[in-house]
Structures are given as structure tokens and as C-alpha cells.
Structure 1
Amino acid sequence: MFRSLSRLAIALSLCLPFATNAQTRSSASAKPRLTSSPTLSEQKAIRAFNVAAQNPLQLTAFLTDMPKGGDLHMHLTGAIYAERFIEQAVSDGLCYSPATRRLFKPSATTRSLPPQPVCGEGNRRAEDALKDQALYDTLVNDFSMRSFVPSAGVSGHDQFFATFARFSAVNQSHIGEWLDEIAGRAAAQNEQYLEVMHTPDFLAAAKLGYSIPWPSTPADPAFNRTGDATGTTHADLAKLRDQLLAGGLRDMVAPDRQEFAGALDARNRIEQCGTPAATRACAVKIRFLYQILRGFPPQQVFAQTLLGFETVQAELDSGHPNVIGINFVMPEDGYLSMSEYHRQMLMLDYLHSVYPRVHITLHAGELAPGLVTPAGLRFHIREAVELGHAERIGHGVDIMYEDLPQALLKEIASRHIMTEINLSSNDLILGVEKQWHPLPVYRSAGVPVALATDDEGVSRINITHEYARAVLDFHLSYSDLKRMARTSLEHSFLSGSSLWAQPDSFTAVNPACASQNLGADDPSPKCTAFLQANEKAAEQWQLEHRYQLFEGSQP
């Protein structure tokens, strides 16, 4: 959170080059009208948008500068462009196997100075790519969806998920550089907040989990309708938790917390945050989601999930959390992801009862007909919200194939459970194009939605691309996009109360700031105190200020 609200305009003028001081003054002096009627400045932005929307290139330029709030669905390694991985593979002295299309660490190096990797017959040094354009192009294509064309037995889904293993040998010591890359890209697009999924070290927890037999208590048939629920009574899981904690799992929390903190410290050093030489990227706030791998046996998944909950709980207890929630990842159509899905939701049901402050967002419904059996499309989103206690749903593509979909839509709308929309990812992985995408269904049902990138590096996109795609594919208006940007911060896991008086209703602010110029840089002492005490509201106030600047700059 900013230390002094009176300095907000100064900070933003450094990171928003299209705003002038005159625009700052004129926009800050305009009284906001918190109704459905647009302000004069907003009307100018709407006219400019409508003109730009006639041409994709003009639209992209307009949307690049438009404030976008946050990206709540972003995998860290998937967000990094292949070119960065090649650069780091060279610095790490890695090798590349054309046969497996993967980077790997050499088992030996030459005695020369500097030492060079010994890669073996048929393999290449990563540094060769800097002198061989054909090899460089091959690596970019292997590490992303660039130039990919589906062929017999190899789908976009296969290529997409295969990329992660291919660049996984790049050393985790580069994590600060990865954060700098995504923060810099976000800043260049007038984005202010990222919730980034990352998996810290959990191997010791997995080993411990496998050392404890999974309980064999059969489940009540009422809880066994959609998959195996053996060993998932609260009593069974409580006993497992006690055994894991007694085995030293809690000792693994501090190293995981340090991994997250160290990554952010490295990013701050790279960007020189807090110094006169600070880059624009410093203005982008980053928080982590603890990423849990769902495609493994229950012993490992429960142990890693417990470690995730313990880590986030410790972060929250610290009062300055870097890690604020958990998410389950890996292809949802995988055998273990499918066969263990119900049991995993029951694990979350128990752990939520023990750690109710830990936020949960879940990949659910990242499925399409033909990818799994029809029965496999019928329950994932419902169980994520009713058993898994998901506050947000990632993807949610198969919503209309679920049992009683209209009732489910009504339920998640009434409970204000947001759907994280990943248009390019859904197209590239699932083959779900605009006429089959449920975004219009969610919007018409009143379900809160926000656009996200998922894996912008692998997909070769950015958040502006997703905004433009939403406009071109679904004919969204400027007001629609502005609502999505506001929704992203409304459903962030940042601490404290919302700026808005009612959930997902962006027409009246919290009484503490009700009489203020919305987004002004000089709010009253009462409003200032409220913003300083509520990190979420402070970010939302900053978004409104950015809209003042942006809309006031339109011709």
C-alpha cells in the first residue's frame, strides 16, 4: 500500500506516460457520479474506444493504455517468454536435446576456462542458439505455442503442457528475473496487481506423505457419488494431519516462505525499488498463490496441500503476507486429476474447516467435450464451490455441461464467486472458440468475471491481447471492460474491505469515502484512514485514479 495518498498522483505520473499534470488536475477536480450514467470524461473515453474498436490495431493501442486492474490467473513459469528461458539456459550452462526437445543440465564440463558443458553426441549447448538462428527458432517453438500446427496425435493441448518440462531445467535462482519480466510487462499495459501461481519446494512433504498409509475408511455412499471418497472423513483427515505435523511438516513452512520472500526481494533489487532509480515495474503489486500439483496420489496431494495451507496461514499471521491463497494445477483431464478430483475436493472441505482464513481459487471446468467422457463434464465446477470452498473458479469452460447448469449459475452468481476468463488459453488448449465459449453465459447470469492470461509466455500473448480478443469476439463495450477491471480487484485476495459498498456493485463506495472525489489524490482524513487500513480498497482507489488520468487524457 502507498505510504501517503497525497503522493499517489506523483507516483502514477511516473508510470503512466500518457497522463500529464494538467490532466491529473482536471480529472481530480471532477466530481464522480456514482450512477449508471457515465461522467463527461468517461463519455470521451467511450467515444475514443468506439472509434478504436473499428480496427484491431487501433483497438490494441487504445487498450494498452487503459487501466486493467489485476490479473488473478497467472502461472509464473508459464508467463515467461521463451526468449528469456534461452538467455537463462545459456547463463546456466545448459544443454539441449533435439530428441526430447528439452533442456538439461550436463553431467560434466570441459577443463577449459571458462568451462563449457559437455552435452553428448547429438545434443547442443544452449549457447549455440545465440549463433544459430535455426536452433534459436526451434527452442522458441519448443518452449511455446509459436508456429505450432496440430498433427496426427499431437494437439494444442499436448504441445501446451509439454512446454513446461522442456524449459524446467532452467535454475530456480532466476525467479526474481521472472517476476521482473511479468511486472515490467504489466506496468507497460497499465496493470497494477498480479496474483501469481508458484510451486515452492515440497519434495520433503511428498516423501513424508508417502510414509503414512492412506486411511481405508470407506465413505458414506452419499459422499461417494462422483468418485473415490475413501479415507476422507474429517476424522481420517484430522488424524493424517496430526501424523504429518508430528513428522515435521511444519518445519517445511519457513523454507517455503523464504522462497517466496527471496523471490520478491530479488525482483525489488533488479527494479531498484525504493530508490530514485526505481523502474515503472515497482508500481505493480505482486502476491503469490501456493500452487499444488493435483495429478498425483492422495498421499502426496494431501501432504502438499497441508503444507500450502500451513504456509499461507503463517503468512497471514505475519500481518504482511506475500502468499495469500492456494490453487490446484496440472491438466484437469489427466487420469489422476479426474479420478482423484472428488477426493481432493473433500480434502479441501476438511482443510478449510481448520484454516478458514486461507483463500481458495480452483481450476475447475477446464474441460471440453471429447477431451474426457461426458460424465467427466458434469460435476467439477459444482464440487469446487460446494465442497472445495472455491471463492473463484479458473476457466469454468464446461459450465453448461454440468448437471443443472442454470441452477449452478444462479448459485455462483448469488454467492459472488468470480470466474477467471482465459480466452486464448481455452482456444489453444481446449479448442474452445468464441461461439462455444461460456463468457456470454456467465455475464447474462450475473456471474462476476474478469479477464486473465493464464500462461502469457507459452501462449505468446499479454493481457491487452485478451481485452482486445474479448471486444472482437464478444462485442464488449468500454463499460464492460471497465467493469471487468474493477471486478478483478474486487475479487482479489488482498486484505481488508472493499472500496465498494456492495459486492460487485460499482455504484456506491464505502461510507468512509462516500463524500470524496472517487480516486482523488487528496481524500479526507477519514477516507485516508480507511484506505490505509484496507489494502484491497487502496488498490481499488488507485484504479479509479488511473481511470481519471486515462479518461481525462482522451481527445
Structure 2
Amino acid sequence: MMQKNLLAAALSISVAAAFAVPAAARTPAPAASPNEAATARHYAALIAGTPKTAELTLFFSQMPKGGDLHHHYSGAVYAETYVDFLEKRGFCVDKRSYTIVTDKAAIDADRAKPAAARTCLTTAEVYADDQTYRELLQRWSSKDFHNHGADQPPPDRQFFSTFGYFGPVADSGNFHDGLVELKERAVRENVAYIETMYKLAPFVANADFDAKAWQNAENDAALDVQLRGWMTALDQDAKFTANLADFVAAIDKEAAGIDDERFTMRYQLYVLRLLNPSQVFSSMVSAFKAAHRGGKIVGVNIVGQESRMVPMRDYTLHMKMFRFLKKVYPDVKVAMHAGELALGDVRPEDLQYHIDQALNIAGANRIGHGIDLAHETNAPALMKAMRAKDIPVEINLTSNAFISGIEGENHPVTLYRKYGVPYVISTDDAGVTRHTLSNEYVLFASRYKPSYAEIKKTAYDSIRYSFLDKDGKARLARQLDARFAKFEADMAALERSSAKR
């Protein structure tokens, strides 16, 4: 027993030493202003003992939060808005299946029926039928999932199935209106910047490429030759080039007027990991080319439920595709969904390498979720590397709790914080799981009780680790300075008012 204790102590010391910061490298924090000190005291009182969550909600609703860096456009728009979009597109909802009908002939045929026989409801009819409306919200989001007793699917299936319901109106001509809603909500919530995963980058299918990619998956040299050959072919494909140009032009048009002196939005293109290798790689090529051009497209991501068969089978292959394109376009930033897995989702050995490969093969600039960290074979070295290379993890507390059941002390944010890995607080799909960035800060503060200084640093880090250019980061940091000065003055006044009572 003594040997085990000594071994454990030695291991603890060696891990701690690996993460230690030399005294000479430590930068003393600047002295707090009186208003900042008063705000820190007020905040400390809110998290002391049993956290005062109502007051924390008030606090964080008013606090400037910088940016939201892990944000899906289609999952951020609320289901109620998608119901409104039905009318704009001339679509309807089948009240038997809660799916959207887009076929005009089918819609016209249904509208020709007597009112009692009709099954496809317009926006107004959905709102008028409370039973249908309530059920629709439960299918199209997580509404009421934990407070009613009806039969329902597992939470991960519930979450990912919502996109199939509202997809036709999320992706059909409503993008600008959705962006306007997200901007207005962000401004009301004191969020200055969103970096949203906006659209699936264009792709093409090639069955021969698929067969060869699976064959070459373990042969890096052969795979690189194959990838370079098809990338060259795509470069010379006039139709592919024209489609990509139209795609980027459409994003510029939809994004027009979103940025102003209060708010900035930038866009990541994403690749869907559920597709075949040719579709994934050609989509990556599109995304990297678009991001390389500059402008409002600032990065590339990969999305889709990580635990499904195809993403698990092709995970390493996808990371090698990213590695190849990062060499071709080293300036392009990559944020990677990696390690969004919990014990039991997959075989234990499949929890041991996803973050590792995202960092060390794909060259990710940020890690999204990263919740399987404690199971990764190389976890201590990964955390040390992320700290040394200044690679942050995007923390999504509501999403991780709902989809994967990972929360509280079981969430690896405890590890990331303990070993100095940079992190940001983000929302993921706030429309589906029905929350806000303010609420994510409430959860973070009430569960883990960070200091006000750490909270404030987290807000600034959401700008620092964005994929904005240097000037954009500097501009938003200056705005954040002014917003925090006002916020802290307000909180100091509130503390004085409270002390008089």
C-alpha cells in the first residue's frame, strides 16, 4: 500500500511539474480598479455556499461575454422561428409526422380538401392548433424533454433528429432572416461576436475515389498521392469552381448588413462526417479554398454525430484529409469537433484517440467539446501540448449534459482548468437545447465557482481565440474594455445599493 501511495505521489508530482509555469514567466495581474474589485466581491457572494442562480442569471445577462465560438447556425435558430419561416416559403407541416412538406403539388392538393380532412398546416394553423404546436416543439427541439412522461427517444437521438425536421426551412431561402434574429438576440444578451458554423461546403461524389480511399487509409504515401490527384482534378473542374464561387457569393449576400458597431459575425464552412470519402474530401477542398480567399469565411469544421458508424470507421481517414489540406493551405484555421463521446457510446478503445488525432494529425487550431479527454491514452501529453501551443477547447455545458450525460465533476472542464489548458464557453445549438450563452456562464459559475478574474478572462479569450484577423480582434477587445468598464460601474453601484439595505 505504501509503495502504491508513493507511486501515486510521484506521478502526481511529475504531472504537476510538467505543467508548472516558471516563476520568471509569470506576469503579475494588474491591480483591479475599485469598480472591478466591487464587482468581484459581488460575484463572490453569489457563488459562495449554495450558488444564488437567479442573481447569477441577472449578473451574467448583463455581463459582456465577448463571443460565442462554437455555434451552429441551424441549431441556434429556435423552432418557433422555423414555424414562422413556413409561411415565407409557402410550405406546410404534416400534423401526423411533424415533417415539412415542400412539394407544391402536394400542398395544393391538401388545401383543396375540406378543412376537417386537411393534414398539412400553415404557420397560422400550427399556432392555432395547440396540440400540434406543442408536439412540434417537442420534436423540433428539446422542449419539455425532462419534464413530461411521454415515450421519447434517447436524448442523443432526440437532439440529432431535430435537424431532419426543420432542415427544409433552415436551408431554403431564410438564411439572412435567421442571421438577423441571431444578431438581435446576441446584442440583447451582450454578446459582441459569433463565429457560426454556417453551411455545408459543396461536394461531389466519386465511387472510385471512395474505394481507393478506404484501400489507402493505412498507407499515408498512397493516400496523399490520391488526394493530390483528385484535388488537382477539382481545381481544373470548371463546374466545381463555378459552384464554389456562387456558394461564396451567396454567403456574402446573406451576411450583408449583419455587422455593425455593436456586433460582428464570421462564418465557418463545415464538412459532414457522415458522408462517403469523396464527398467529405471534395467538401473539405471547397471549404479550404473558400476560407483561403479571406473575407467573412474564417475557418473550416467537421460536424455530425461522432459516435455513428461512418464517422467512427473513417475518423482517422478524415484527420489525414485535414492534414493534407492544412499543408496546402497553412493559413486556413480549423476548429474540430473531436472527442464528443462518453463512456458507453462506443467501445472503450474508441474513446482513446479522437482528440489526439485531431491535434496531432489534423492540426486543429481549436477543439470542440473534447469530453472524452479522461479516456484518451495520451491525455496528460495532450493537455500539456494544448497549453504550450495555446490551443483552446470549446466548452458546451448544456449540450454535453443533454446529449451525452456529461456534467458536474464528470465534465473534463475540471481537467482542462486544473492543467492550464485554455478554454472558451460556448453554446453549440442553443435553439435546439433552448438556452443562451448567459445561461452557459451561469452553469459554469454555479458548478465550478471560478473567480471573477477567471470569468472575465474567459470573456476576453473568446475574442483572443476567434479566427478573426489581428485588427478585428483588437477592435473587439477595445469594445470589450469599454463594455466591462460600464458593467463594473453598474455592479459597483448595485453592491453599494445592496449594502445599504
1:44 to 38, 44, 64: 38
Counterpart in the other structure of 2:485: 548
Kindly indicate whether residue 262 of structure 2 is the aligned counterpart of residue 283 of structure 1: yes
Please state whether the residue corresponding to 2:431 is helix, strand or coil. helix
State the distance in 1 between where 2:214 and 2:89 align. 48
TM-score normalised per structure 1: 0.78
**In structure 2, how many angstroms separate the alpha carbons of the residues matched to 1:373 and 1:329?**
21
Among 121, 131, 146, the residue aligned to 1:134 = 131
Question: Which residue in the other structure is 1:308 paired with?
Answer: 287
Partner of 1:265: 256
Superposition pairs for residues 207-356 of structure 1, below 5 Å? 207=205, 209-210=206-207, 214-215=211-212, 219=216, 224=218, 233-248=223-238, 249-265=240-256, 267=258, 283-314=262-293, 316=294, 321-356=295-330
- Quote how far apart the aligned CAs of 1:104 are: 2.0
Q: CA deviation at 1:238?
A: 0.8
Match of 1:64, as an amino acid?
S
Q: Is the 8 A contact 2:107 2:120 kept in 1?
A: no
Aligned-partner SS, 2:256: helix
Aligned position for 2:119 = 123
Question: Counterparts in 2 of 1:342-421, with a 5 A limit?
Answer: 342-421=316-395
Aligned residue among 447, 450, 474 for 1:537: 474
Residues 1:308 and 1:479: Cα distance change in structure 2 (over 3 Å)? same
Q: Secondary structure of 2:173's partner?
A: helix
Distance (whole Å) between structure 2 residues aligned to residue 299 and residue 462 of structure 1: 37
Tell me if 1:73 matches 2:70.
yes
C-alpha deviations, 1:174-193, integer Å up to 9, x for none? 11111111111111121111
| Distance apart, 1:58 and its partner CA | 1.2
Q: Indicate how the Cα distance of structure 1 residues 68 and 117 shifts in structure 2: closer, same or farther if over 3 A, else same.
A: farther
TM-score (ref. length: structure 2)? 0.86
Distance 1:106 1:251 in 2: 28
Q: Paired residues, what number?
A: 457
Q: Residues 483 and 195 from structure 1, CA distance in 2 versus in 1: closer, same or farther, beyond 3 angstroms?
A: same
Aligned to 1:431: 405
Note the residue ranges of structure 2 that are not aligned, 5 or more in a row. Answer: 1-26, 494-501
CA distance in 2, matches of 1:61, 1:49: 11
AA aligned to 1:288 is: Y
Native 8 Å contact 1:216 1:231 kept in 2:
no
CA contact (8 A) 2:423 2:458 kept: yes
Conserved? CA contact 2:300–2:334, under 8 Å: yes
User: In structure 2, the residue corresponding to 1:283 is in which secondary structure?
Assistant: coil
Q: What is residue 194 of structure 2 aligned with on the other side? A: 194
Residues 409 and 442 in structure 1, CA contact (< 8 A), matched pair in contact too: yes
Q: Say if 1:66 and 1:217 are closer, same or farther in 2 by CA, change over 3 A.
A: closer
**Other-structure match for 1:175:** 175
* Distance change >3 Å, CA 369–CA 84, structure 1 → 2: same
Other-structure match for 2:158:
159
Residues 235 and 117 of structure 1: is their aligned pair in 2 closer, same or farther, counting only changes over 3 Å? Answer: farther
* 2:19 paired residue number: none
Does the 8 A contact of 2:91 with 2:107 survive in 1?
Answer: no
Distance 1:373 1:87, change over 3 A: same
- Given that 1:86 and 1:139 are in contact with CA atoms closer than 8 Å, whether structure 2 keeps it comes out as no
C-alpha separation in 2, matches of 1:347 and 1:206: 16
Matched residues in 2 for 1:99 and 1:341: separation? 37
Shift of 1:122: 7.0
Indicate the residue corresponding to 2:441 in structure 1: 467
- Tell me, in whole angstroms, the C-alpha distance in 1 between the residues paired with 2:379 and 2:133: 47
Q: Is the 8 A contact 2:394 2:425 kept in 1?
A: yes
1:360 to 1:539, Cα distance in 2 relative to 1, 3 A: same
Structure 2 match to 1:145: 142
Render the CA deviation track for 1:358-383: whole Å, top value 9, x for unaligned.
10010000000101111110100010
8 Å CA contact 2:367–2:392 kept in 1: the answer is yes
- Could you say what secondary structure the match of 1:59 adopts? helix
Cα 1:134–1:390 shift into 2, 3 Å: same
Give the letter for the 2:484 counterpart: Y
Q: 2: distance between equivalents of 1:217 and 1:166?
A: 32
Deviations 1:106-147 (A, max 9, x none): 4427779xx958799673313311211221111111110011
- Give unmatched runs, 5+ long, in structure 1: 1-32, 274-281, 497-533
Q: Equivalents in 1 of 2:143, 2:214: separation in Å?
A: 49
1:57 aligns with 2:51: no
Mapped contact 1:232–1:343 kept (Cα < 8 A): no
Which AA in structure 1 matches 2:235? L
How many angstroms apart in 2 are the aligned matches of 1:63 and 1:344? Answer: 38
The residue type equivalent to 2:44 in the other structure is N
Question: 1:133 corresponds to which letter in structure 2?
Answer: D
How far is the alpha carbon of 1:430 from its aligned partner? 0.4
Deviations 1:415-470 (A, max 9, x none): 11100000000001001121210011001111001100000000100000000000
Q: Which residue identity is paired with 2:144? A: S
- In 1, are the aligned partners of 2:61 and 2:190 still within 8 Å (CA)? yes
In structure 2, do the counterparts of structure 1 residues 406 and 230 end up closer, same or farther at CA, with 3 Å as the change threshold? Answer: closer
From the superposition, tell whether residues 46 and 239 of structure 1 become closer, same or farther in structure 2 (CA, over 3 Å): same
1:206 aligned partner:
204
SS at match of 1:198: strand
- % same residue: 28
Q: Which amino acid aligns with 2:479?
A: Q
Which amino acid is the alignment partner of residue 410 of structure 1? K
- TM-aligned CA deviation for residue 405 of structure 1: 1.2
Q: Report if aligned partners of 2:392, 2:421 keep a CA contact under 8 Å in 1.
A: yes
Deviation at 1:230, TM superposition (A): 7.2
* Cα distance in 1 for residues equivalent to 2:338 and 2:161: 20
C-alpha root-mean-square deviation of aligned residues, in Å? 2.5
Q: Residue type of the partner of 2:102?
A: K
Task: Quote the offset at 1:105 in angstroms.
Answer: 1.1
| Counterpart residue identity of residue 279, structure 2 | Q
